[in-house]
Amino acid sequence: MSFETISVIGLGYIGLPTAAMFASRKKNVIGVDVNQKAVDTINRGEIHIIEPDLDMMVHAAVTEGYLKATTKPESADAFLIAVPTPFLPNEEGNIPEPDLSYIEAASRAIAPVLKKGDLVILESTSPVGATEKMAEWLSAARPDLTFPQSAGENADINIAHCPERVLPGHVVRELVENDRVIGGMTAKCSARAVELYKTFVQGECVITNARTAEMAKLTENSCRDVQIAFANELSIICDKLDIDVWELISLANRHPRINILQPGPGVGGHCIAVDPWFIVSKTPDEAKLIHTARKVNDAKPDWVINKVKITIADFLQANPDKTAKDVTIACYGLAFKPDIDDLRESPAMAIAQQLIALHNGNVLLVEPNITQLPAKLAGQMLFSAEQAFSEADIHVLLVDHKMFKSIKPTAGLVVDSRGIW
Ligand code: SAJ
């Protein structure tokens, strides 16, 4: 049975590009989101997130009539769930537990419109076992239909986990080109999911089971987290030993089998700093290295703040006529990584906020990729790099945006968390 109508639940950074991609292949796509504002924006042919080329795709899909957004699920042949899986609120020091309530809510929302022959795919990054849980929620809501956990290959509804693996900023290209892990609850579920993704995926669709697919996604991001933690730990060791860590890494990387990543002010974003916890919370006694890497990366912003405090003390020692109130600090970059405007879960933002709270003098914020500061920084102003260069006594480089690679301050003290100045 082919897929004529496809519904995508959750129209965020993954769901919206995926919906637009199916629509670009002339499938009827129903995008569902609880956010009425996002739904209205999309139905005007506009987008509420920033991702290169997505605006054109959504505009074309909506004007040609292949994509519409709504807050209430409608009947479709396939449902892709791409909702967030954040943490449950937890006390500092405890292992964060994943919050599956968005997946549960999405399952309950689509259950009434499911019909025999439908395919349901969980795309959200999830702890091992989440797809089976989703299948249970669906089955509890629709006792009149059969599901793979009890009916196997003969189930009325097919279910699979197919994790997204695209890099923010390159989503449109990577959705098409990346290989896809397809974890069906049965062989038939996998085969149908492959058929669906082959609508636009040019990469290979590699079949496994749902649990392995869940773990594959968590493994990819945990691997990167561990590798970044290694670089961050090296930067702290090198600082103590008076060695330039960036020179050290570039030398070590000349070895044919070594490829060390780059240290920074910490790990941000909604994936790499989150997903390893899904492994740690399931297997806390076994996931020792993954847990330690998380702690190393989470501690890095405080290390940078401490560096700034030491630099303020150095400045005051060299300028005995001044007090902390007279010292102007500039922070360069607020985004969670270079050349994007996404400030969520950004270590640079956390450092800037803490410096504003800690420091008696002025803190100037420079972020060339935004025009307005978020509410969290209400009362602060955005400055151009040139203004900050001329006004600040201490320059704190937090994000290696392209722009900062071509200019640098000529006076004042520098705390460079990225090694470009
Ligand atoms: N970072 C460093 N040093 C490095 C590389 C990255 O400090 O050498 C920092 C970045 O500055 C940033 C954080 O790590 O704060 C994460 O950035 P990233 O570019 O490594 O990854 P994300 O979060 O943008 O996207 C990741 C990708 N996963 C992997 O590369 C294994 C992407 O493919 C996933 O789809 C995405 O997570 C996701 O949605 O899970």
Summarised one tens digit per residue, pLDDT across range 257-285 is 999 999 999 999 989 999 999 999 999 99
Whether 1 shows a pLDDT value over 70: the answer reads no
Q: What is the CATH number of the domain that holds 14?
A: 3.40.50.720
Same domain flag for 133 and 14: yes
Rounded-to-integer distance, Cα 160 and Cα 192, Å: 9
- The answer to whether position 338 is within a domain reads yes
Same domain flag for 107 and 226: no
Task: Give how many domains the chain has, as a whole number.
Answer: 2
H-state helical runs in 111-269: 130-141, 148-151, 171-177, 187-197, 210-241, 245-252
Q: Is 408 a catalytic residue?
A: no
> What pLDDT is recorded for position 169?
85
Same domain flag for 190 and 234: no
> What pLDDT is recorded for position 50?
80
- The answer to whether position 153 is within a domain reads yes
Q: Which amino acids bring their CB within 6 angstroms of ligand 1? A: 125, 164-168, 220-221, 224, 228, 261-262, 264, 267-269, 271-272, 336-337
Gap from CA of 64 to ligand 1 centroid (Å): 34
Summarised one tens digit per residue, pLDDT across range 310-325 is 999 999 999 999 999 9
- The answer to whether position 183 is within a domain reads yes
Which of 168, 203, 238 is the endpoint of a domain? Answer: 203
Same domain flag for 252 and 172: no
Same domain flag for 276 and 334: yes
Average pLDDT over residues 327-352: 95
| Tokens 């290295």 found at | 289
> What pLDDT is recorded for position 92?
81
Same domain flag for 306 and 410: yes
Task: Give me the half-sphere count of Cα atoms (radius 13 Å) on the Cβ side of residue 306.
Answer: 7
Domain extent, residue 137, equals 5-203
Summarised one tens digit per residue, pLDDT across range 141-176 is 999 999 999 999 999 999 999 999 999 889 999 999
Annotated catalytic residue: which of 27, 271, 300, 331? 271
**By C-alpha distance, which of 258, 249, 246, 225 is closest to 347?**
225
Same domain flag for 272 and 390: yes
Same domain flag for 135 and 235: no
User: Going by CA atoms, what residue is nearest to atom 29 of ligand 1?
Assistant: 221
> What pLDDT is recorded for position 28?
98
Give residue 226's pLDDT band: very low, low, confident or very high (50, 70, 90). Answer: very high
Summarised one tens digit per residue, pLDDT across range 368-393 is 999 999 999 989 999 999 999 999 99
User: Going by CA atoms, what residue is nearest to atom 7 of ligand 1?
Assistant: 264
Average pLDDT over residues 337-342: 89
Same domain flag for 199 and 227: no
- The answer to whether position 421 is within a domain reads no
Average pLDDT over residues 355-371: 96
Summarised one tens digit per residue, pLDDT across range 29-61 is 999 999 999 999 999 999 998 888 999 999 999
Which of 149, 172, 203 is the endpoint of a domain? Answer: 203
Q: What is the mean pLDDT of the chain?
A: 96
Summarised one tens digit per residue, pLDDT across range 295-307 is 999 999 999 999 9
Q: Quick one: which atom of ligand 1 is closest to the CA of 225?
A: 14
Same domain flag for 189 and 230: no
- The answer to whether position 214 is within a domain reads no
- The answer to whether position 160 is within a domain reads yes
Gap from CA of 165 to ligand 1 centroid (Å): 11
Same domain flag for 300 and 163: no
Same domain flag for 134 and 267: no
Give residue 2's pLDDT band: very low, low, confident or very high (50, 70, 90). Answer: confident
- The answer to whether position 212 is within a domain reads no
Task: Give me the half-sphere count of Cα atoms (radius 13 Å) on the Cβ side of residue 166.
Answer: 24
> What pLDDT is recorded for position 196?
98
Gap from CA of 145 to ligand 1 centroid (Å): 40
The SS3 of residue 15 is helix
- The answer to whether position 215 is within a domain reads no
Which of 203, 236, 255 is the endpoint of a domain? Answer: 203
